[in-house]
Amino acid sequence: MPLTETMSDTEAGVLARGLVRRAAGVGLLGGLVAFVFARIFAEPLIQQAIDYEAGRDEARAVLAAAAGEAVEPEGPEIFSRVLQANLGIGTGVVLFGLAVGCFFGVAYCLAWGRAGRVSARRLSLLVAGGGFLLLYLVPFLKYPANPPAIGNSDTIAQRAGLYGVMVVACVVFGAGALWLGHRLAPRFGNWNATLLAGLAFVVLIGIVMALLPPLGSLSANAGQVGPALTETPQPLRDPSGAIVFPGFDPDLLFYFRLYSVIAQALLWGVIGVAFAPLAERLLERGRATEEGESLIAG
Amino acid sequence: MTGVSAAGARPVAIPVSATLPWLLGALVLGLLIYYFIGIDEGAASVFGNTTVVHEFVHDGRHFLGFPCH
């Protein structure tokens, strides 16, 4: 078996260019699918959350006025809700698809030939699954997506930093787990090496998640009513303790987060599935005799 | 000519050195877009203290899981 077979620089350049361009393309496609889903399922929830926020702000203003405190003026509206709910979220989600498509393409180019005997198609699904886990789902476990109305604007910088730490930790530990699995495979076999590497990832990211603070415990949230776990608005009470405005609707929060997960699963799913045949054509051209085998394997 | 050396064999890796411009280019483009969609005018801002980018992609930012005001 010619293990020393290599690729010329020209060939490699053509391959990388082809893979990266196609990855960017399927990223856009995935973003488009996620946007359609978001427009249909998430936008009504986002509007409800914004209406809740407006109602709560009004109730709070009434309470503040009754207590003789100054009322903070509302920020100016730059874009209408119609624009934000269509063109805005469309631009955001489609371009996010392009961005992660680029990451996916780079990861795929690096993984091909370095991840063992995996068919081009199966590798596409594996890399997309990894991207979904590392760039979204695992960070989400610690700091889940929140609709408008949830989130203290005084903690935005801290929250962005904490979320960034989760994402970076996931990517670093994910790469580390790949390296570890690779090292362990000759001694323990693929199955056990994969389990051990996965376990190492879970332990490390678990430690990071345990060390990072819950959002409700940030100092800017001190003195706010409610549990210290999140920034989800609690019921608004007047000085006598009577509830004058309800807390955030838990069902609304649940469905917003559920749809957020589904949208990302759709995005990464489209990337993995749509890229698979494109990569196969590029990388395994001339393997017609093995079509039968790869149909079963891939 | 293909990325596979022989039937069922380990696929041939694409050498990084020859493809660095494409890989780096894609990475930088991805990071730039990721930053503007997810982070700019929140924790940090390249165009100063504005909220135009933030407000435009506001719904997407919430829905994609990024921290938002």
* Percentage above 70 pLDDT, chain A: 92
Closest to B42 (Cβ–Cβ): which among A20, A102, A160? A160
If you average pLDDT over every residue of chain A, what do you get?
90
Q: From residue B51, give the alpha-carbon distance in Å to each of A17, A95, A275, B36, B60.
A: 36, 18, 36, 12, 15
Question: Interhelix angle for A120-132 vs A250-283, to 10°?
Answer: 150
Average pLDDT on A184-195 reads 94
Q: From residue B22, give the alpha-carbon distance in Å to each of A16, A95, A98, B10.
A: 7, 19, 15, 24
Closest to B67 (Cβ–Cβ): which among A102, A113, A163? A163
Which positions in chain A touch B34 (Cβ < 8 Å)? Answer: 96, 99-100, 103
Taking the model in full, what pTM does it have? 0.90
Q: Which residues pair with A9 in a beta bridge?
A: none
Of the pLDDT bands very low, low, confident and very high (cuts 50, 70, 90), residue A289 is very low
Dihedral Cα B35, B36, B38, B40, nearest 10 deg: 90
Closest to A263 (Cβ–Cβ): which among B36, B52, B63? B63
Which positions in chain A touch B29 (Cβ < 8 Å)? Answer: 99, 102
- The 8-class DSSP code of residue B44 comes to B
CA distance A151 to chain B (A): 6
CB B62 within 8 A of CB A146: yes
**Is B69 within 8 Å of A156 when comparing Cβ atoms?**
yes
Cα separation of A60 and A52, whole Å?
Answer: 12
**Per-residue confidence (pLDDT) for residue B3, from 0 to 100:** 47
Closest to A286 (Cβ–Cβ): which among B1, B18, B59? B1
Average pLDDT on A89-116 reads 95
Average pLDDT on B37-42 reads 85
Which of A102, A255, A258, A271 is the best substitution to test chain B (most B C-beta atoms within 10 A)?
A102
Per residue in B1-33, pLDDT tens? 444 444 455 688 999 888 999 999 999 999 999
**Is A9 within 8 Å of B9 when comparing Cβ atoms?**
no
Average pLDDT on A136-156 reads 94
Checking phi first, is residue B54 left (phi over 0); if not, alpha (psi -120 to 50) or beta?
A: alpha
**Is A156 within 8 Å of B5 when comparing Cβ atoms?**
no
CA distance A203 to chain B (A): 23
CB A102 within 8 A of CB A20: yes
CB A20 within 8 A of CB A105: yes
**Is A79 within 8 Å of B56 when comparing Cβ atoms?**
yes
Which positions in chain B touch A95 (Cβ < 8 Å)? Answer: 33, 36-37
Cα separation of A144 and A221, whole Å?
Answer: 18
What number of CA atoms fall less than 13 Å from residue A206's CA on the CB side? Answer: 6
Closest to A145 (Cβ–Cβ): which among B1, B4, B63? B63
Of the pLDDT bands very low, low, confident and very high (cuts 50, 70, 90), residue A221 is confident
Of the pLDDT bands very low, low, confident and very high (cuts 50, 70, 90), residue B59 is very high
* Percentage above 90 pLDDT, chain A: 73
| A257 or B41, higher pLDDT | A257
| A95 or A219, higher pLDDT | A95
**Residue A286: how many CB atoms within 10 A of its CB?**
10
Of the pLDDT bands very low, low, confident and very high (cuts 50, 70, 90), residue A288 is very low
Q: Where are the alpha helices (DSSP H) in A133-249?
A: 138-142, 156-211
**Is A12 within 8 Å of B14 when comparing Cβ atoms?**
yes
Cα separation of A129 and A103, whole Å?
Answer: 13
Q: What is the ipTM of this complex?
A: 0.88
Does position A298 have pLDDT exceeding 80, yes or no? no
**Is B60 within 8 Å of A264 when comparing Cβ atoms?**
no
Average pLDDT on A243-255 reads 96
Determine what percent of chain A falls in helix, strand and coil, rounding each to the nearest 5: 75, 0, 25
**Per-residue confidence (pLDDT) for residue A227, from 0 to 100:** 58
Q: From residue B60, give the alpha-carbon distance in Å to each of A23, A133, A152, B51, B67.
A: 21, 19, 18, 15, 11
Does position A171 have pLDDT exceeding 70, yes or no? yes
Which of A106, A135, A271 is the best substitution to test chain B (most B C-beta atoms within 10 A)?
A106
Of the pLDDT bands very low, low, confident and very high (cuts 50, 70, 90), residue A225 is low
Q: List, in order, residues 6 or more apart from A97 with CB less than 8 Å away.
A: A27, A28, A29, A30, A31, A32, A34, A267, A271
The token pair at A13 is 């350049």
Does position A4 have pLDDT exceeding 50, yes or no? no
Q: Which residue of A has its CA nearest to B52?
A: A78
Average pLDDT on A244-260 reads 96
Does position A44 have pLDDT exceeding 90, yes or no? yes
Which positions in chain B touch A114 (Cβ < 8 Å)? Answer: 13
The token pair at A165 is 């730490």
**Per-residue confidence (pLDDT) for residue A5, from 0 to 100:** 61
**Per-residue confidence (pLDDT) for residue B9, from 0 to 100:** 56
**Is B2 within 8 Å of A285 when comparing Cβ atoms?**
yes
Query: The dihedral of CA A81, A82, A88, A93: what is its sign?
Result: positive
